[in-house]
Homo-oligomer: A and B are copies of this chain.
Amino acid sequence: MSTAQHDVTSTANLNRRDHGLDVLAKIDGHAGTSVIDSLTDVSPALGHHVAAFAFGDIYDRPGLDARSRQLVTIGVLTALGGCEPQLKVHVGAALNVGLTPDEIVEAMLHAAVYAGFPRALNATFAAKEIFESRGVRPSSAAASSR
């Protein structure tokens, strides 16, 4: 008999969730888990599925390495627009998995071709905030003309 999945307290679902929280903590550190925490008093079910599905089921699949997943994620979030809070979390995650600030802003410049300059500008200014909070910046940023 199949069990209704909305029984999120079954052992299997708590395992999925805990696994997702592990993945999330490893990739995003505090920024990711604080999103889940901030959902506790409004939509814990949404928090459960961000952890169990987005991170537990998808993020940790073997088909793409963490660096590749962040490149796709940055592309998607830049294109969607209006996702600056999520983009900031994932710029931090991108740094955590080894993308450099230069690569991150290059990906956003690349996205400008397809999603337009305003989306690229908004994404780049979101990245700038994270870079500053981490005390890093693109090496290209020192040169005046490029």
* Residue ranges of A at the interface with B (Cβ–Cβ < 8 Å): 2-6, 8-10, 12-20, 22, 35, 38-46, 48-50, 52-54, 56-64, 68-69, 71-83, 85-86, 102-103, 105-122, 124-125, 127-128, 131, 137-138, 140-141, 143-146
Contact = CB atoms under 8 A, between A and B. Distances in A.
Counting every copy of the chain, the complex holds 6
A84 to B, nearest CB: 8
Contacts of A103: 63-64, 68
A133 to B, nearest CB: 13
B4 A105 contact: no
A127 B19 CA distance: 28
A60 B6 CA distance: 7
A45 B113 contact: no
